[in-house]
């Protein structure tokens, strides 16, 4: 069964796409971590997965996979109180990044649009978490999280864009999976 | 790689309680922590939550949960007072109040709120079977397709994590005669990119196969759907709901009938 670009994808294909990409986002957030030596902290690659979804599959897949995937990762890692925040903020991040990325005609104009999409996604993610965490545990503690969130989005841009290009080159049928 | 599960099986009352009741009561109990409560009342609510945790999940689980929350609690206690310079000063630096009684009160309230919400959410998740949780979300109106996505995702996460480990090992074997991996987050990110590319391609290749499997199981058909798993009977639900509302009323009683306890 293939998703023919001439017809809209069926329900089963959309559900399969969302399930796989949500699981990818959750695994990238939960399992794959890059240690940061100076702080002894970790970068998770959830934002990489969100930007990959936005650039390769479109805004609505990124909205669902990004929001649900990060929320499930929060639930599974014992930070359930952040799940509603992640659902909203990362979902919006994926949606806006996907909308900006798909507004062009492709070709050479794509990369600048993707960079703009990452900037918009970063703004939404950082301000969303700052607002929500201020409500949850105060402005002072929320401000401390801001550099980490900025770093995560930088990693998202540095890895998400090359990943989307590399996967597209290595597996061309992915172009037909957008909806 | 073992993915943690949020459910801890058990036989307590909270485990046996209907998942729909727990989901319905989560919101009012969560809103409670955003009300302007006195520190005494907040401490009492935290005590009840901690007691419930001890009773239904055990001391080890409570200790593990509190240990995971400790870094954020310490952060809140240290960083909140400088942003609340009103009230009687305790510590003055360069003629500016750095720590005041009001600031300490606010930091304790925020730490209490964060701890209370964390314990509340975790109490729900640790005592509720994921299948019952998803069925309850369906009962609350979440579309079947969304519930199906969540169910499939929860089952795919461990296999995707294993795929990542296998691909990582394969790439390490290919690099066995090269220099050891460099330091620095950027360098590590660059090194993990080929692994991520392989994982993503493998994952994306599975989409059409999964779609075929779903279609062959009748997804998208118009005839009424049956379910292998079911929620509790309506009498069990009504009993649990009545008990839950009674507990909510008990918890709200100090606020409703003794307003002086708010301050």
The 10s digit of each residue's pLDDT in A71-115 is 999 888 878 888 899 999 999 999 999 999 988 766 666 788 899
Beta-carbon separation of B208 and A27 below 8 A: no
Phi, psi of A17 (to 5 degrees): -60, -50
What residue ranges in chain B does DSSP mark as E strands? 89-93, 96-100
The whole-angstrom distance between residue B252's C-alpha and the CA centroid of its chain comes to 24
A44's enclosing H/E stretch is: strand A41-44
Interface confidence (ipTM) of the complex: 0.88
Kindly report the pTM of this predicted structure. Answer: 0.84
User: What six digits make up the tokens of B111?
Assistant: 């730490």
Q: Which of A3-17, A47-61, A160-174, B7-21 has the lowest mean pLDDT?
A: A3-17
CA distance B41 to chain A (A): 18
Question: For the CA atoms of B99, B43, A129, A69, what is the dihedral angle to 10 degrees?
Answer: 150
Substitution target from B200, B215, B218 for chain A, most A beta carbons within 10 A: B200
Beta-carbon separation of B193 and A163 below 8 A: yes
Per-residue pLDDT at A6 exceeds 60: no
Domains parsed from chain A with CATH numbers:
11-172 (1.10.1760.20)
Number of H helices, E strands in chain A: 6, 2
Whole-number Å distance between alpha carbons of B251 and B255:
8
Residues of B in contact with A158 (CB under 8 A): 186, 189
User: What six digits make up the tokens of A164?
Assistant: 């989307």
Beta-carbon separation of A23 and B210 below 8 A: no
C-alpha torsion sign, points A168, A170, A172, A174: negative
- Contact assessment for residue A156 and residue A48, using Cβ atoms and an 8 Å cutoff: yes
Residue B178 CB neighbours (<10 A)? 8
What pLDDT was estimated at residue A2?
Answer: 45
Beta-carbon separation of A80 and B122 below 8 A: yes
User: What six digits make up the tokens of A161?
Assistant: 């864009």
In this prediction, the residues of chain B whose per-residue pLDDT falls under 50 are 1
Query: Any bridge partners for residue B100, and if so which?
Result: B89
Residues of B in contact with A32 (CB under 8 A): 164, 192, 196
Mean pLDDT, chain A, rounded, equals: 86
What pLDDT was estimated at residue A4?
Answer: 42
What pLDDT was estimated at residue A166?
Answer: 92
Chain B: residue whose CA lies nearest to A4 = B208
What pLDDT was estimated at residue B79?
Answer: 85
What pLDDT was estimated at residue A136?
Answer: 82
Spatial neighbors of A54 by CB under 8 A, at least 6 apart, are A62, A66, A94, A97, A98, A101, A117, A121
Q: Which of A42-51, A141-150, B39-48, B172-181 has the lowest mean pLDDT?
A: B172-181
What pLDDT was estimated at residue B90?
Answer: 81
Residues of A in contact with B80 (CB under 8 A): 138, 140-141
Chain A: residue whose CA lies nearest to B161 = A27
Per-residue pLDDT at A175 exceeds 80: yes
What pLDDT was estimated at residue A1?
Answer: 44
SS3 A43: strand
pLDDT digits (tens, 9 = 90+) for B37-62: 888 889 999 999 999 999 999 999 89
Beta-carbon separation of A80 and B68 below 8 A: no
Per-residue pLDDT at A7 exceeds 70: no
Beta-carbon separation of A68 and B153 below 8 A: yes
Beta-carbon separation of A76 and B157 below 8 A: yes
Chain A: residue whose CA lies nearest to B117 = A81
Whole-number Å distance between alpha carbons of A25 and A171:
19
Instruction: Indicate left, alpha or beta for A40 from its phi (over 0: left) and psi (-120 to 50: alpha).
Output: left
What pLDDT was estimated at residue A96?
Answer: 96
SS3 B105: helix
* Closest by Cβ to B161, choosing from A31, A81, A155: A31
Beta-carbon separation of B122 and A32 below 8 A: no
Q: How confident is the model at residue A5 (pLDDT cuts 50, 70, 90)?
A: very low
What pLDDT was estimated at residue A38?
Answer: 59
Residue B156 CB neighbours (<10 A)? 21
Per-residue pLDDT at A117 exceeds 90: yes
Q: How confident is the model at residue A158 (pLDDT cuts 50, 70, 90)?
A: confident
Spatial neighbors of B233 by CB under 8 A, at least 6 apart, are none
DSSP H stretches of helix in A31-82:
46-57, 59-76
């Amino acid at each position: 069964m293939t998703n023919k670009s001439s017809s809209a994808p069926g329900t089963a294909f959309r559900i399969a796409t969302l399930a796989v990409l949500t699981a990818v986002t959750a695994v990238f957030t939960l399992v794959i971590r890059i240690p940061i030596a100076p702080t002894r902290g970790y970068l998770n690659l959830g934002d990489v997965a969100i930007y990959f979804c936005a650039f390769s599959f479109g805004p609505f897949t990124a909205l669902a996979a990004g929001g649900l995937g990060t929320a499930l990762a929060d639930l599974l890692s014992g930070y359930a109180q952040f799940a509603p925040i992640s659902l909203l903020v990362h979902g919006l991040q994926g949606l806006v990044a996907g909308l900006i990325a798909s507004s062009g005609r492709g070709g050479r104009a794509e990369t600048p649009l993707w960079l703009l999409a990452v900037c918009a996604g970063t703004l939404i993610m950082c301000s969303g978490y700052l607002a929500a965490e201020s409500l949850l545990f105060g402005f002072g503690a929320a401000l401390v999280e801001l550099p980490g969130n900025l770093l995560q989005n930088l990693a998202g841009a540095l890895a998400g864009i090359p990943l989307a290009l590399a996967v597209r080159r290595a597996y061309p049928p992915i172009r037909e999976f957008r909806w | 790689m073992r993915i943690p599960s949020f459910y801890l099986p058990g036989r307590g009352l909270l485990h046996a309680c209907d998942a729909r009741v727990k989901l319905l009561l989560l919101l009012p109990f969560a809103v409670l922590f955003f009300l302007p409560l006195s520190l005494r009342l907040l401490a009492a609510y935290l005590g009840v939550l901690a007691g419930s945790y001890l009773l239904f999940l055990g001391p080890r689980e409570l200790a593990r949960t509190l240990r995971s929350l400790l870094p954020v609690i310490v952060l809140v206690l240290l960083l909140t007072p400088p942003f609340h310079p009103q009230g009687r000063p305790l510590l003055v630096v360069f003629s500016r109040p750095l720590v005041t009684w009001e600031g300490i009160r606010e930091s304790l309230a925020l730490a209490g709120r964060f701890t209370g919400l964390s314990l509340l959410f975790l109490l729900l998740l640790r005592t509720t079977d994921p299948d019952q949780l998803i069925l309850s979300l369906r009962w609350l109106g979440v579309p079947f397709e969304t519930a199906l996505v969540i169910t499939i995702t929860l089952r795919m996460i461990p296999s995707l994590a294993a795929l990542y480990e296998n691909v990582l090992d394969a790439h390490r074997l290919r690099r066995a005669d090269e220099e050891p991996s460099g330091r620095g987050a950027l360098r590590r990110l660059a090194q993990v990119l080929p692994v991520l590319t392989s994982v993503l391609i493998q994952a994306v290749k599975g989409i059409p196969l999964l779609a075929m499997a779903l279609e062959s199981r009748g997804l998208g058909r118009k005839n009424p759907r049956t379910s292998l798993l079911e929620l509790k009977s309506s009498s069990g639900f009504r009993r649990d709901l009545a008990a839950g509302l009674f507990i909510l009323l008990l918890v709200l009683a100090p606020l409703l009938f003794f307003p002086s306890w708010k301050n």
